[in-house]
Amino acid sequence: MKVVIVGGVAGGATAAARIRRLDEQAEIVVFERSNFVSYANCGLPYFIGGEIEDPEELTLQTPESFFTRFRIDIRVRHEVTAIHPDTKTVSLKNLATGETFEERYDKLLLSPGAKPVKPNLPGADIDRIFTLRTVEDTFKIKEYININRPRSAVLIGGGFIGIELAENLRNLGMEITIVQRPKQLLSPLDSEMAAFIHSKMRQKGVNLLLGRNVTGFRESEDGVAVLLENEEPLSADMAVIAIGVTPDTEIAKTANLKLGLKGSILVNERMETSVPDIYAVGDAVQVKHFVTGEGALIALAGPANRQGRIAADNICGGDSSYGGSQGSLIIKVFDMTAAATGISETAAKKAGLRVDKVYLSALSHAGYYPGGKLMTMKVVFEKESFRLLGAQIVGYDGVDKRIDVLATAIRAGLKATELKELDLAYAPPYSSAKDPVNMAGFMIDNIAKGILKQFYLEDIQNLPRDGSVTLLDTRTSGEFSRGHVEGFVNIPVDELRERLGELDRGKPVYLICQSGLRSYIAARILTGYGYEAYNFSGGFRLYETAVSDRCLIENATACGADR
């Protein structure tokens, strides 16, 4: 059996090694367009910033190491230009010599990946404007920085690459501005969770111009001018376009393989395309979203590796299937960590699901043990069924393990109420006896039992201020004086029982505190005395962060933003 693999990196390289482990006699040839067959995409910004110093650390395997270990023929700088399913051949071009030739296959695996979206804007081909996707892109940016010592950069796009590159260039001492059309960074998060990331970026000196439209570029005396719609141009020494990627599937299209979202390759659960004996994996394929069951594009290394393994199994006569992607992600934002799994509330509502949510602010480990760091967690679930849909966490220590527990719970089909039953490891330096994941389960269980009634950020401005309801802030008077929601009055929770006479028993009471805990206790007190009580989910900390961020985005001058 002869297997030809188009593209290396995560999916193709993983498949090649797996095929060899399953079939010692198979002839395996991998054609890779770049100079590198297997490299760490996710490490590229950290090499530019100097966190990774040795460029060889980016290379996971070389053609020589692949051949020595697996006897796999790796040919870099070879581009597949056409697929001929009728003759089971591919056309190739040696990019080093210009030679063209054809290669026969019994099984063909496509792992062409994705390419950066480069908008068709005036001036986008200026030398000082870069994209970042490959090792070659990385070396080009690194060389430019080393030679020219730029003092400023504009990054167009605020996804993974934009955020990670902003941090690394900022750590080099550069003035950084992120500009993009969407009004938030990191689109898999809901806007109020992204607000914590925005706050951290601004705190670290990164300028955010969100909700702006880039119309083109122009060379200037000092560098490059980034042109904005209805605003003055931004001047910088360099610019990087990082507005996302699109499946690199031109050869699949010309071979008449069935295509899906944004030209991605349609595959079944066995990673088989619409043409017999042709498989596809990685960023170029449309997958089923594990939570919604709908088609999705999820360009992440973990799914690509698993898909490569599954395709290899089936190429070798096995029967493996891919159950779908749920988009689990994590990113470092300076000293902060943001993570998500499943779908956001925004995505769930777009999918037509009836959703509810809980927020909680929790320490990374026991409060009495030194060094605990605060994290904000949001868990999204389906009403009535309490099916877990997704989770988002922004914080510091311990974010990674909580998101992985929640990702596992979603994959295992646990209900949101069952999070309370998870038997998680505890010791004071690592967690609390009631882990944040358990606490989310307790809160959702209280909702299921009618013990907890909530109201949310989107409700707060529409609450009546005409006296028909009671708006109550249960923090201390000092906290209240430093900032509060308009229309709320202050009765600290520890004084509430003695001051019940100040409240009208016939009016619903809407309660808020800093995190949601004290106001929940106050709600239970009031319920015990016959009041109808609702607790604000997320607390004043969430409210203040989200509202301040929205103000900065919508009206930077009024909010005192650094323009």
Which positions are catalytic? Answer: 42
Q: Residue 431: which region, alpha, beta or left (left: phi > 0; alpha: psi -120 to 50)?
A: beta
* Coil vs helix vs strand at 486: coil
SS (H, E, C) 313-376: HHHCCCCCCCCCECCCEEEEECCEEEEEEECCHHHHHHCCCCEEEEEEEEECCCCCCCCCCEEE
Which tokens sit at 72? 């796999």
Give which of 82, 85, 79, 66 is closest to 28, Cα–Cα: 66
* Inter-residue contact 453 to 523 (CB < 8 Å): yes
Would you list the DSSP string of 252-308? HHHTT--B-GGGPEE--TT-B-SSTTEEE-GGGEEEEBTTT-SEE----HHHHHHHH
Which tokens sit at 47? 């090499």
Give which of 1, 65, 66 is closest to 27, Cα–Cα: 1
* Inter-residue contact 72 to 66 (CB < 8 Å): yes
- Determine the Cα–Cα distance for residues 443 and 452; give it in Å rounded to an integer: 7
Give which of 337, 350, 430, 333 is closest to 390, Cα–Cα: 350
Give which of 317, 374, 382 is closest to 343, Cα–Cα: 382
Which tokens sit at 231? 């605003």
Residue 555 DSSP code: -
- Determine the Cα–Cα distance for residues 444 and 386; give it in Å rounded to an integer: 8
Give which of 278, 228, 270, 267 is closest to 80, Cα–Cα: 278
Q: Which residue has the tokens 């650094």?
A: 562
* Inter-residue contact 296 to 289 (CB < 8 Å): yes
Which tokens sit at 14? 């993983």
* Displacement of CA 264 from its chain's centroid (Å): 20
Write the CB contacts of 338 (distance below 8 Å, at least 6 apart in sequence): 186, 189, 193, 196, 197, 330, 331, 392, 393, 394, 399
